[in-house]
Amino acid sequence: MNARREGLVAGHGFLHVMAFLLMSSTISAAPITFNTALAVGKGEYVLREQFVVVQSGHDPAGLNRDRRETAVVTALGYGLSGKWALFAAFPYRNIDLDLDREEQAISRQASGLGDLSLFARYTAYQHDAAGKTLRIAPFAGLKTPTGTHRKKDRYGLLAPSVQIGSGSWDPFAGVVLTYQTLQYQFDAQFSYRMNTEADGFEAGDIARLDGSLQYRLHPHKLSAGTPGFLYGVLEMNLIHQRKNKLNGSSDPDTGGTRLFLTPGIQYITRRWIIEGAVQLPVVQNLNGRTLKNDYILRTGFRINF
């Protein structure tokens, strides 16, 4: 923390609280469904573990399809400098798809390590003032084909929606904005992932627009002895995916636009955070017989070290 900010905060009598919330070397409030522009301290690490359940069971095709995915996502961030941070995210996925085929109920399943994502984030703009900060950080990375994507069962080759990996090298980029005060924090992100072809299959590109508001619920008054903070979280996730392609031809029963409203909660201490949220679909404008989401549940923790 620079001398100018120290003087301003000390004048208000809550230097300890300001340092707790805004210094890059401590944990702060953050979005649950996407990244933040707040820096990772130089030479420090942030470990984030999330348990994710994706339930989809509204089937317009009349096949009684029910898809449930559970995943444990491990993400590690490293502060390369005051402006640069490097990240890696690696999921372990378990996918179950139940459906009716020729009047017979069948189940298809796959599990294992998924595709590794690597990306870098740069703080391009930073403005600090008494009790608040504004950061803008572009990022870019690559999803690598580390997960199995040609798995078979007794019915043959699994569909792409059941495969653990994609088999493709998929670049992505975006920008995230964070505005943080002592009472609340707002984050917004735009990102785009260009999915490429592997073995004749190409998933549709994905564009996302995300927003998150984290508001401090407890304590109402700040003091130097505060051990932690309870935040209420409300997020919005607008996701558009283009149609998949198989051997160069578009699949009319894939792609579309989804809008999620995501309430959540976080408890934050100096070095760790626990959190939970549920993504509820409010709009699903999907193509053809695309399977609709019921909900996405996220719980997890972060540790700074």
**Per-residue pLDDT tens over the stretch 99-130:** 998 888 999 999 999 999 999 999 999 999 99
pTM of the model: 0.89
Residue 65 falls inside a structural domain: no
Residue 97 falls inside a structural domain: no
Angle of helix 3-12 versus helix 15-22 axis, rounded to 10: 130
Predicted local distance difference test score (pLDDT) of residue 15? 35
- Residue pair 87/141 in contact (Cβ under 8 Å)? The answer is yes
Residue 88 falls inside a structural domain: no
For 105-118, give one letter per residue: b (16+ CB within 10 A) or e: eeebebbeebbbbe
Q: Report the alpha-carbon distance of residue 40 to residue 139 in Å, rounded.
A: 14
pLDDT averaged over every residue in the chain: 90
Structure tokens at 225: 């002895």
Residue 23 falls inside a structural domain: yes
Task: Return the closest-CA partner of residue 149 out of 108, 184, 115.
Answer: 115
Residue-number span of the structural domain to which 206 is assigned: 3-38+123-304
Predicted local distance difference test score (pLDDT) of residue 3? 39
Predicted local distance difference test score (pLDDT) of residue 259? 98
Residue 112 falls inside a structural domain: no
Number of domains into which the chain is organized: 1
89 Cβ contact partners less than 8 Å away, ≥ 6 residues apart: 73, 74, 75, 76, 116, 117
- Between the CA atoms of 184, 190, 196 and 198, what dihedral angle is there, to the nearest 10 degrees? 20
C-alpha distances (whole Å) from 22 to each of 184, 243, 280 are 12, 42, 30
Residue 110 falls inside a structural domain: no
Residue 145 falls inside a structural domain: yes
Predicted local distance difference test score (pLDDT) of residue 22? 41
Per-residue pLDDT band at 220 (split at 50, 70, 90):
confident
273 Cβ contact partners less than 8 Å away, ≥ 6 residues apart: 27, 30, 266, 267, 301, 302
Q: Report the alpha-carbon distance of residue 40 to residue 26 in Å, rounded.
A: 8
Per-residue pLDDT band at 288 (split at 50, 70, 90):
very high
Q: Report the alpha-carbon distance of residue 37 to residue 139 in Å, rounded.
A: 10
Segment 70-75 long-range contacts (CB within 8 Å, at least 24 positions apart) = 70/94, 71/114, 73/48, 73/49, 73/300, 74/47, 74/48, 74/49, 75/47, 75/48, 75/49, 75/50
Residue 187 falls inside a structural domain: yes
Query: What is the CA angle 263-173-275, rounded to 5?
Result: 25
- Residue pair 109/95 in contact (Cβ under 8 Å)? The answer is yes
